[in-house]
């Protein structure tokens, strides 16, 4: 990956933000722990609701998971204006490279949906690699989807309006859970929202060559994170943990994908959108000029 390869310029209005972003390695246990502390200190419940205290209420709850209880946070509008049949439910799967992060990573932007849509948003923890390689995170996320669907009346939303979303590694899990729900005849997902998702494990493509050296998430980070999550030889990779491996994406719900032009994941995300179209899935794709990975979350959403 050479910086000499021609590449589009970064968005000049955001370039000063990018200059402040750190490059954080995770090739050793010490570096990984440092990265975990960095993300953990950057995203919290307090950050998520700051400025929204008059609009949102929240509830902390333990929900059942394959390996035991998983901590979840449920967000609701304080002033509910719609009938239950008109309220969507949103399952938010957090980022963090499958190796770090908590349920509040990336949730801030999605909370913008709660009040105007009268949505119920649930975000839950899942087990992290390398202590728990895939499919641990995938199965935990699927369990959260099932719990949310089964408790739709209690939570107060229409189960026919269930949306799954996530950014980066959360986008990987959202895409994987959506395919899994189809193949297991599980909960009916209304739509999936994938924000700069990690969908491929090859770490190839021209966008990797162009921007694989760019903070905050480098090509080396991808290699290390997938080694932890999928195993040294990617032995835990399949169509659910690596959605780009799916050859048939038929019968999936309408999909929204966005990614930055300066994101190493750009090409795999564009390719996934094309494969969804080929499978007859209604898909909307946005590529943001000059924007890097996680540009809309202070560069921390990975």
Tokens read off for 80: 């509910």
Tens digits of per-residue pLDDT, 115-126? 999 999 999 999
Report the pLDDT value the prediction gives residue 3, as an integer from 0 to 100: 53
Q: Which of 20-24, 93-97, 142-146, 242-246 has the lowest mean pLDDT?
A: 20-24
Report the pLDDT value the prediction gives residue 19, as an integer from 0 to 100: 87
Q: How confident is the model over 246-267, as a mean pLDDT?
A: 97
263 as an active site residue: the answer is: yes
Report the pLDDT value the prediction gives residue 23, as an integer from 0 to 100: 86
Q: Is the pLDDT of residue 87 over 60?
A: yes
Report the pLDDT value the prediction gives residue 300, as an integer from 0 to 100: 42
**Rounded distance between C-alpha atoms, residue 276 and residue 269, angstroms:** 11
Report the pLDDT value the prediction gives residue 302, as an integer from 0 to 100: 40
Q: Is the pLDDT of residue 269 over 60?
A: yes
Radius of gyration of the chain (CA): 18
Report the pLDDT value the prediction gives residue 210, as an integer from 0 to 100: 96
**Rounded distance between C-alpha atoms, residue 163 and residue 149, angstroms:** 10
Report the pLDDT value the prediction gives residue 45, as an integer from 0 to 100: 95
Given the residues 224, 258, 263, 267, select the one marked as catalytic: 263
Q: How confident is the model over 25-42, as a mean pLDDT?
A: 92
Q: How confident is the model over 10-15, as a mean pLDDT?
A: 90
Using DSSP's 3-state secondary structure scheme, residue 254 falls into coil
What value does the mean pLDDT of the chain take? 94
Place of tokens 């087990």: 127
% of the chain residues with pLDDT over 90: 89
Report the pLDDT value the prediction gives residue 189, as an integer from 0 to 100: 98
% of the chain residues with pLDDT over 70: 97
Given the residues 118, 141, 168, 244, select the one marked as catalytic: 168
Q: Is the dihedral of CA 17, 222, 107, 207 positive or negative?
A: positive
Q: Which domains does the chain have, with CATH numbers?
A: 16-288 (3.40.50.1820)
279 as an active site residue: the answer is: no
pLDDT-derived band of residue 301, with 50, 70 and 90 as boundaries?
Answer: very low
Tens digits of per-residue pLDDT, 199-252? 999 999 999 999 999 999 999 999 999 999 999 999 999 999 999 999 999 999
168 as an active site residue: the answer is: yes
Report the pLDDT value the prediction gives residue 51, as an integer from 0 to 100: 93
**Rounded distance between C-alpha atoms, residue 143 and residue 139, angstroms:** 6
């Amino acid at each position: 990956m050479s910086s000499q390869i021609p590449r589009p310029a970064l968005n000049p209005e955001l370039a000063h933000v990018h200059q402040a972003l750190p490059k954080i390695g995770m090739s050793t246990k010490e570096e990984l722990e440092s990265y975990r502390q960095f993300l953990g200190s950057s995203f919290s419940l307090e950050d998520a609701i700051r400025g929204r205290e008059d609009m949102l209420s929240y509830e902390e709850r333990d929900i059942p998971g394959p390996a035991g209880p998983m901590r979840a946070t449920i967000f609701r509008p304080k002033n509910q204006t719609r009938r239950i049949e008109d309220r969507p439910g949103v399952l938010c799967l957090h980022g963090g490279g499958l190796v770090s992060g908590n349920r509040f990573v990336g949730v801030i932007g999605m909370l913008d949906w709660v009040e105007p849509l009268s949505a119920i948003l649930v975000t839950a923890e899942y087990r992290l690699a390398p202590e728990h390689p895939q499919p641990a995170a995938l199965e935990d996320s699927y369990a959260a989807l099932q719990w949310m669907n089964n408790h739709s009346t209690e939570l107060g939303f229409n189960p026919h309006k269930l949306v799954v979303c996530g950014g980066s590694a959360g986008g990987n899990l959202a895409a994987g859970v959506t395919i899994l729900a189809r193949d297991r005849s599980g909960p009916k997902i209304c739509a999936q929202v994938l924000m700069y998702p990690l969908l491929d494990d090859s770490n190839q493509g021209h966008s990797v060559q162009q921007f694989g050296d760019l903070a905050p998430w480098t090509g080396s980070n991808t290699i290390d994170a997938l080694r932890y999550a999928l195993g040294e030889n990617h032995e835990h990779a399949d169509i659910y943990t690596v959605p780009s491996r799916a050859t048939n994406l038929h019968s999936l719900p309408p999909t929204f994908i966005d990614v930055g032009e300066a994101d190493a994941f750009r090409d795999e995300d564009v390719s996934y959108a094309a494969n969804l179209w080929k499978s007859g899935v209604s898909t909307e794709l946005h590529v943001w000029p000059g924007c890097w990975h996680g540009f809309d979350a202070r560069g921390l959403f990975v």
